[in-house]
Structure 1
Amino acid sequence: MPVPTLLDHTGAPFERKAAPVSGVSAPEPWFMEALGIHATASKVVVSPSTAMRVPAVARAVNLIAGTIGILPARVFKVAADEARTPATEHPAFGLVHRFANPFTSARELRQILTRDALLHGDGFAAVVRDGSGRPRELVHLPPGTCTADVDLVSREPFYRVSLTSGSDVLSWRDVLHLKAPSLDGIRGASPTSLGREAIGLALVLEAYAARLFGNGARPGGIISVPGKLGDTAGPRMKASWQAAFSGEGTGGTAVLEEGATFSPVALTSVDAEFMAQRRHQVREVANVFGLPSTMLGDTENQTYSNVEGLAQSFRDETLLPWIAAWEDAYARVLLDESELSTHAVAFDLEALDRADLAAKAEAIAKRRAAGITTANEERRSLNLPAHANGNELGSPFTTANEAPAHNE
């Protein structure tokens, strides 16, 4: 199947320019930074791929990207009273709710772009339009193929896309750009780059522990003999011990000779500090990604009473900023300027509340009983269409019983 021609939002083909050719030289520090490769004080190079070797980083990235991916998103038509109804006839409805393109679901694309933004700072997808300029597909642009820039006069962003056939300059209307919290307002600053020192130290501790236990370097005890070992007893005892307690032979049975005794070595303060440091790095990684550390397996301070609060913190402090970034990114490229006041792209947060539907229903019932909200206001928060009789502020749980009139 031929690759579809990329069109801008006016329906005209993108201007195609030949990729510049330059001499080959040693990478400069700024170039390495642009690739997401960072040197650290621990002498460990932190890149997106090496960062994902840290279990806490992999868990954080997969948790955030995976959760964003499973949340449904829709295009809504917004009425004058802010009531929302699904705009199923809008050309962008299927792109955000069903399939971004014939081979990628909308949820999968959100997961991919969120992971790109977490690891590289930015996630990009090209908007492929039909002859009339309407969005037809969203196609993922892998990291390294697209860079964001800004016009120095108009301050409008634009994008340089490097493809196998050359390079394209794309308008900001034609690139779905999800960026991590930005330092310059143009490009996102990935958590893995901002937190590279913490991630680098976690890599050092991980590698040290792997070498230590892989080689059986830490003695589990001390072998003592009452006298001097013979010329053959020493090597024979050493070979027996190493065969039983080092490498893949760990857990075997060693034979002691010459009246030797074994005294186990207790856990030292150095060992305890090492394990505490590894736990601390999990919390540092959690801080880097804005997560409660309990989400990364640190249950030391978790109690039965604070589980709900930690889940709420994950929802409000971790996910909602990413959801807002997605809604804005969708609206920029999928809605015409004339539609920004009449349409909106919104995520359905009901999936996050499924585990606590009873508490949510109780909260809605209390607000309605107190006359704080109307039925339509509550339905709007659930992305449900307005009800004909839903604008009454009175409590639905009380009714005025009037005696019927009688003719005398």
Structure 2
Amino acid sequence: MWNPFRRKEKALMAPANNSGWFSLILEPFSGAWQRNIKVDRRSVLAYHAVFSCISLIANDIAKMPIRLMSKDSNGIWKERSSNSISVLKKPNAFQTRIQFYENWLISKLAWGNTYILIIRNNSGQIIEFRVLDPQRVQPLVSDDGDVFYQIGADNMAGLENEIIVPAREIIHDRFNCLYHPLVGLSPIYACGLSAMQGLHIQENSAAFFKNGGKPSGVIKYPGSISEEKAKEIKAAWDTGYSGENSGKTAILSGGADYIPVSMTAADAQTVEQLKMTAEIVCSVYHVPAYKVGVGSVPTQSNIEALELQYYSQCLQTHIESIETLMDEALDLEVNTGAEFDIDVLLRMDTQGRFATYKTAVGSAVMSPNEARRKENLSPVPGGDNPYLQQQNYSLEALARRDAQDNPFANATSQAQPAQSNDDDEAESKALTHGEMYAAKAMLKGIFHERA
């Protein structure tokens, strides 16, 4: 790969405070480190709400097929097949399309940054994309503003030694660049403390029920006792009546009394507190709480509206980012781009879909075969053209009609026949109503006989 150190006059430096942002330990607020209040990223990822939000977003985007779309002369986007972009559907040798985009989103949501190394052949064509470990990558900026990336040794990326590559060889998807445009922040930065609180609530509940649901307390002795005697009594109590021995009958002498001091789970409103921490996590990730099992499911029957809300407030920015970065990496033409098929996500219920097809086909917005194609049905003869009823007129015909002096006059009144002396003769030759009826009946009989 090209080595930027060929130009010795170009010095590279990391963004200010960059090393702290990549640390495993995050400060939930200023001064938390000095007070020994820390957020461990690995522990936070174990909290059910954080785990569910990251998994949900990554899985929902990864399951959407990605296609190469091209705009035709009519301005219609259509799928384009080309062997040169097979890397979109098979990014590398050891990951499927779904695994690759899941890895992309997990890195972005957990670390705030996703780094994709572009692998080229000897001709310079892209043959693979590989997701890098975000802890092994550091952006660098030269004196003249050029961006480079320092990548540590990574066997999965095929790198035996540390290298520095220019920005054109890296796809960098970053999230929440609050402090530096090259360094993204994970949502864990905002919800880490709530996640740790939820974990502590669960740990406390687990210890509480492990103790047989018995609250802790103090042993009250009348008078005073020495510190050594107090430690002896406590050790004897912990050995005989806590843990697996909880619930056994205790015998106290000398006027001693056991007084429970811990609040019960109901007193501490554990369930409400735990729900609150999960809701905070969901709000930071912009995921509807009901999708991760927090809160009640909406009762409205419009599934498409719920999914559209989830798409617009949560998924859309991630989808658009991936599509744009892929377009730039593949150096696609102006009227060509990579797009996820969001119909997989925004699929309506059966009744809603067919009602939509009926309206679209009936109003000539879609042809019957276009509606059938969306349901994976084979086309039928004559179904490639949109249809309208015969009495419908085009806008052009209506415009010509409205341009007349009297648009609502009938054709016979508009046509002014020339005055002639033969008018009386023509009227005398006209058939009466009865004669016309008889002629029609005769013709009908002839047709029946021939049939």
User: Structure 2 length normalisation: TM-score?
Assistant: 0.64
Q: Deviations over 1:195-217 (max 9, x none)?
A: 33323332333333333333446
The 8 Å contact of residues 140 and 147 in structure 2, kept in 1 or not, is answered as yes
Provide the rounded CA distance (Å) in 1 between the counterparts of 2:373 and 2:138: 38
Greater RCO, CA 8 A, separation 6+? 1
What SS class does the counterpart of residue 195 from structure 1 fall into? helix
| Closer/same/farther in 2, CA of residues 315 and 360 from structure 1, 3 Å limit | farther
1:62 counterpart = 2:55? yes
| Closer/same/farther in 2, CA of residues 257 and 35 from structure 1, 3 Å limit | closer
Partner of residue 232, structure 1? none
Provide the rounded CA distance (Å) in 2 between the counterparts of 1:353 and 1:296: 18
Q: CA deviation at 1:103?
A: 1.2
* 1:132 paired residue among 108, 119, 123: 123
1:277 counterpart = 2:268? no
| Closer/same/farther in 2, CA of residues 376 and 307 from structure 1, 3 Å limit | closer
Provide the rounded CA distance (Å) in 2 between the counterparts of 1:186 and 1:390: 52
Partner of residue 201, structure 2? 205
Identity of aligned residues (%): 18
The 8 Å contact of residues 16 and 168 in structure 1, kept in 2 or not, is answered as yes
1:181 counterpart = 2:176? yes
Q: Deviations over 1:323-381 (max 9, x none)?
A: 111111111101x2xx3313110001122134624423433443454466788998999
Partner of residue 6, structure 1? none
CA RMSD of aligned residues (A): 4.4
What SS class does the counterpart of residue 318 from structure 1 fall into? helix
Partner of residue 295, structure 1? 291
What SS class does the counterpart of residue 59 from structure 1 fall into? helix
Provide the rounded CA distance (Å) in 2 between the counterparts of 1:268 and 1:49: 27
Provide the rounded CA distance (Å) in 1 between the counterparts of 2:216 and 2:306: 39
Range moving further from structure 2, 339-348 or 29-38: 29-38
Range moving further from structure 2, 313-322 or 120-129: 313-322
What SS class does the counterpart of residue 104 from structure 1 fall into? coil
| Closer/same/farther in 2, CA of residues 400 and 130 from structure 1, 3 Å limit | farther
Equivalenced residue count is 350
| Bigger Rg, which one | 2
Provide the rounded CA distance (Å) in 2 between the counterparts of 1:256 and 1:46: 40
| Closer/same/farther in 2, CA of residues 376 and 185 from structure 1, 3 Å limit | farther
| Closer/same/farther in 2, CA of residues 45 and 266 from structure 1, 3 Å limit | closer
Partner of residue 366, structure 1? 359
Range moving further from structure 2, 67-76 or 45-54: 45-54
* 2:93 paired residue among 87, 102, 106: 102
Report the residue type matching 1:96 in the other structure.
L
After superposition, residues 87-126 of structure 1 pair within 5 angstroms as 87-92=80-85, 94-97=86-89, 99-126=90-117
1:37 counterpart = 2:37? no
Partner of residue 191, structure 2? 195
Report the residue type matching 2:309 in the other structure.
S
Provide the rounded CA distance (Å) in 2 between the counterparts of 1:143 and 1:39: 19
Report the residue type matching 1:135 in the other structure.
I
Partner of residue 350, structure 1? 343
Q: CA deviation at 1:15?
A: 1.5
After superposition, residues 4-403 of structure 1 pair within 5 angstroms as 13-15=1-3, 31-40=19-28, 43-92=36-85, 94-97=86-89, 99-150=90-141, 153=144, 157-163=147-153, 164-172=160-168, 174-183=169-178, 184-216=180-212, 218-219=214-215, 247-248=243-244, 270-272=267-269, 274-299=270-295, 301-305=296-300, 308=303, 309-334=305-330, 336=331, 339-354=332-347, 356-370=349-363, 395=388, 398-399=389-390
The 8 Å contact of residues 16 and 166 in structure 1, kept in 2 or not, is answered as no
Q: Deviations over 1:298-333 (max 9, x none)?
A: 12x434227835443222221122111111111110
The 8 Å contact of residues 157 and 186 in structure 1, kept in 2 or not, is answered as no
What SS class does the counterpart of residue 69 from structure 2 fall into? strand
Provide the rounded CA distance (Å) in 1 between the counterparts of 2:333 and 2:350: 32
Q: Deviations over 1:92-145 (max 9, x none)?
A: 2x2112x11111112211100100000100111111112222211111211122
Provide the rounded CA distance (Å) in 2 between the counterparts of 1:242 and 1:340: 77
What SS class does the counterpart of residue 271 from structure 1 fall into? coil
The 8 Å contact of residues 112 and 174 in structure 2, kept in 1 or not, is answered as yes
Q: Deviations over 1:205-251 (max 9, x none)?
A: 33333333334464399xxxxxxxxxxxxx9xx99x977xx64577x
| Closer/same/farther in 2, CA of residues 198 and 257 from structure 1, 3 Å limit | closer
Q: Deviations over 1:380-406 (max 9, x none)?
A: 999xxxxxx9997764xx3559xxxxx
| Closer/same/farther in 2, CA of residues 325 and 364 from structure 1, 3 Å limit | farther
What SS class does the counterpart of residue 135 from structure 2 fall into? coil
The 8 Å contact of residues 159 and 171 in structure 1, kept in 2 or not, is answered as yes
What SS class does the counterpart of residue 125 from structure 1 fall into? strand
Q: CA deviation at 1:38?
A: 0.5
